[in-house]
Amino acid sequence: MDFSTIRNLVTRCCTGEESWVDSRTVYIGHKEPPPGTEAYIPQRFPDNRIVSSKYTFWNFIPKNLFEQFRRIANFYFLIIFLVQLIIDTPTSPTTSGLPLFFVITVTAIKQGYEDWIRHKADNAINQCPVHVIQHGEVIRKQSQKLRVGDIVQVKEDETFPCDLILLSTCREDGTCFVTTASLDGESSHKTYYAVQDTKAFNTAEEVDTLHAIIECEQPQPDLYKFVGRINIYLDRDEPIARPLGSENLLLRGATLKNTECIYAVAIYTGMETKMALNYQSKSQKRSAVEKSMNAYLIVYLCILISKALINTVLKYAWQADLNRDEPWYNQKTETERQRHVLIRAFTDFLAFMVLFNYIIPVSMYVTVEMQKFLGSYFILWDDDMFDEELGERPLVNTSDLNEELGQVEYVFTDKTGTLTENNMELRECCVDGHVYVPHAICNGQVLPGAAGMDMIDSSPGVDGKEREELFFRALCLCHTVQVKEEETVDGIKKGIHQGKSTSFYISSSPDEVALVEGMKRLGFTYMRLKDSHMEILNREDEMERFELLEVLNFDSVRRRMSVIVRSNTGEYYLFCKGADSSIFPRVVSGKVEQVRARVEHNAVEGLRTLCVAYKKLTHIEYEEVCRLLTSAKLALQERDKKLSEAYDVIEKDFILLGATAVEDRLQDKAADTIESLHKAGIKVWVLTGDKMETAAATCYASKLFHRNTQILELTTKRTEEQNLHDVLFDLSRTVLRQHGNMTRDTFSGLSGDCQDYGLIIDGATLSAVLKPTQEGTSSGGNYKEIFLEICRNCSAVLCCRMAPLQKAQIVKMIKTSKEHPITLAIGDGANDVSMILEAHVGIGIMGKEGRQAARNSDYAITKFKHLKKMLLVHGHYYYIRIAELVQYFFYKNVCFIFPQFLYQFFCGFSQQPLYDTAYLTLYNISFTSLPILLYSLMEQHINMDILKRDPSLYRDIAKNSLLRWPIFVYWTFLGVFDAMVFFFGAFFLFDNTTFTSNGQLMATNTQMMFGNWTFGTLVFTVLVFTVTLKLALDTHYWTWINHFVIWGSLLFYVIFSLLWGGIIWPFLNYQRMYYVFMQMLSSGPAWLSIILLIIVSLLPDVVKKVLCRALWPTTTERIQRMRADKIFERVETHSQDSLLDGVQNTSEA
């Protein structure tokens, strides 16, 4: 090793060079670099094993238990179970241990099965064969044994086993075609490029001789970003450095198409591949119902502690009288008396906690999980939401947020591809004020009835004709469209026109396809990209060839793209197309005003507009451009920033050529969906990157804005005329003038007020509004709060010229405001992912911009119109079902435990249980679990057709209305009342007792043997029947399954009690329930008492519902009553008709 090598090492290791810290070095083929060039420092990288599973055979039990006991209810019951094992408690440890074991076991089995499925999928992937180049030969090995630096051979239709850098292909130009459908859903063929200096290595032997080192960034999840460089050693001279970007990176999961084979080097393997990194971090969203459950749980925990504390205090107060102390025959009396009073009190407190612990419904969490998991299938099975065109059904990526669909107050929607079809049709192009209208073209297909070319104002003159042709050439060259001679789709060959084979265009951007097809109809046909030359067939059927030198790709910040080409005559051209806001400021000549006027006219019509410009470059200018681009592309750190700066320098001093107008039609029933959402009290915001006029026209067409809506503008144009502070206060005074100081019903606009105002804001103004107010500014206060005040008084908001990050900022701003409304974001593109992840509920559209949005969303649908049913029907049902489930669980557990609390006042606070151990154990597991689970899956309080026809019904459940504290308190007091009826009703039945001849104590009222277990069984019987019939009364939608489960649960309780007390079980040490249940049922008065107590318990709730429905009915209750009246009238009419027929038949006889 010479001194230069040592110096390089010291420089890199000691000076803290960023590129060394944040990059990795990969030796292709694991070959050491030539001596004297680089120090060989092998690095350790993970193997290519994919692990999507959560557990292993060894860690499943401890890891799963740890995760389950992180849940408060499970941990609480574990503590109770341990207390029962440690101290002498009134109930058996089985009463807590068995339900806990059941819950833990069911959850573990479910999670274990899901993980086993993941293990099988992982093994199938990890063990699939791959072809690797070693010593000039192609060998096969398992995918999991692939290492970073291995050279891999991939053949057509094979999937890439890891992230690869393309070295060479079987094609002469060093390109290959790839589909990334499994990554982002885009089925189009994307072009990737081999490194120019390695594309000649076309055989295994040649590739094996390659000496090169790759320096690149460390793994990161962005699918569309990669920064690196390759140093190639030829003849052991100084290495040749070439930049590497995303166009050279083949991602794991993508598939090779239309290319016989390629050679590539593994750069990221296993869990460091971009695909693996993308499926890892996704923030956990929690619904409002889950938050309410946790709050209720804390309240009931406080009630539990209070009960235990009261009983402990009263026990010692009662035992203060020596006559009431522990009896002499209790063997523990002396031991107890010798212990410190605080220890005894604490032990008694724990014993009471154990006795009353069933007030905490541990099984509720399992039931809720099952309800969400099973309930999500109703969306998957909904035939109304099936898209026949795509053959796709909705996707449920998480079932934890089902009920949140019924609580949405804000919908944030993208425009292109979400409200519109993303199905582009070139309507016209304007060149120097002359307008050209081609055939009606839609994504490469000539629409039916389209006649010849319509030319308007078609006399541009000689100079104008040259500019016209230059404009058409610009659109034929400035794009990333791929050409296929013919395409087979479902057995039909596309691209065949009148028996002749023609080109078929494919691109990830429908706009580009529409533009290139439009140029084809106007006489300029883009043929192909071959050997770095773009070929165009002009109007004279002459082939023109332009050498493609550089492509300055489109990005959402610049909002433009450019190409640099060289013509046959050696002239250099830079063609650029982009949004008018990004082109006009960079134009120095051309008919700007005429084109601007046409662009504004088309924007008002709702068309998508693009401007086209160009400039000529000298050879010296081109070399300077190359130097700038090469320097930026070779940077490992901040490459994007440096490229952006280079683009900014290059893309200026343009000559304006003209503009295009493309129509993106509104999706079917999009307007009806938005109108229904408004009626449901949901505010709809459109967040788009389009210009204001285009987006506003779409908003009018989709009925977001109406003709009588007063539009308020908060745009850059207005803030240039008037400072932001004054504009905000003018708008604030405008919206508050009509409402006074009264804003609409909270932040969600659920007041049902008419749609008065619509707000339009652009991205630049939004940035100024969200910027923190500096000290010393005018006393305008916080701009953000004023902006929110304006928004809450507007029925709809349009945000245009939005960057993806700004979309997420808007969602976050609304989500974190003081009212904390529930937000939903819906979009179809990668630029919508940030807002989809930010919102409470994210919905992706499976559209033409790929599947990134669908993959990162909570739910995915195929069309915007399906959002109506998803919210107004499925969301409505999900919420009312789970709200009843939560309230009912707490109610039935209060009914269960409060009699136990009252019983302590009659047994000297001795911690004597009221119920048998079997009843304590099975109450929540068997006797009362299935009816509420089925209710939470099947209940339909209103027919779904009515929910779709009348969106205002959505307002009845808004703001978590069924889980508010007053309703929770009502259910709790109802449970307390019913418990008191059970207990004191049974108590008075045993009020008068006499001794029988054999010394047994018998109740004279009922002729039942009086005893603790008889009393408890009577209370428990009334309890089970009451809580089950309460659910039956709340059920509106009856099916045979409901009848089977509800009446079957009651029958199961009776049969179980008969068997439990009617047989002497040999495995029990003592059988205190023997013959108790049968003896109780043998008493006629007992039957009557049970029926009366059930009626008395249910009566207050029935009376309350009747009065509320008669005096203060909700919209839902009014519709239920109308429907019941119609059914009654139909039945009555049918009965009268039957009666008349009978009378007529009798008279005839």
Q: Which residues are catalytic?
A: 414
- For 637, the token pair is 């750190």
Measured CA to CA, the distance from residue 1028 to residue 511 in angstroms comes to 60
The per-residue DSSP string of 221-250 comes to: S-TT---EEEEE-STTSSPEEEEE-GGGEE
Q: What is the CA radius of gyration of the chain?
A: 38
Map tokens 């929607």 to a residue. 413
CB 464 within 8 A of CB 491: no
Straight-line distance from the first to the last Cα atom of the chain, in angstroms, rounded to the nearest whole number: 124
> Nearest 5°: phi and psi at 803?
-80, 155
Find all residues with CB under 8 Å of 93, minimum gap 6, and list them: 81, 84, 85
Q: Is 788 helix (H, G, I), strand (E, B) or coil?
A: helix
Residue 484 main-chain phi, psi, to 5 deg: -125, 140
Residue 766's contacts (CB-CB under 8 Å, 6 or more residues apart) are 799, 802, 806, 809, 810
- Residue 1094: how many other CB atoms lie within 10 Å: 22
Burial class (CB in 10 A: 0-12, 13-18, 19+), 79: middle
In whole angstroms, what is the distance from residue 766 CA to residue 787 CA? Answer: 9
Q: How far is CA 147 from the centre of its chain?
A: 35
Cβ-contact 535, 547 below 8 angstroms:
no
Which amino acid is located at 1054 in the chain?
V
**Tokens 């008889």 sit at which residue?**
1014
- Take residue 971 and report the two structure tokens written for it: 């259910």
Going by C-alpha positions, the residue among 849, 732, 857 that lies closest to residue 788 is: 732
Q: What is the per-residue DSSP string for 576-628?
A: EEE-HHHHGGGEEES-HHHHHHHHHHHHHTT-EEEEEEEEEE-HHHHHHHHHH
Which of 963, 1016, 966, 970 lies closest to 989, judged by CA? Answer: 1016
DSSP code per residue over 639-663: HHHHHHHHHHHHS-SEEEEEEEEEE
CA dist., res. 515 & res. 263, Å (int): 35
582 burial (CB, 10 Å; 0-12 / 13-18 / 19+) is middle
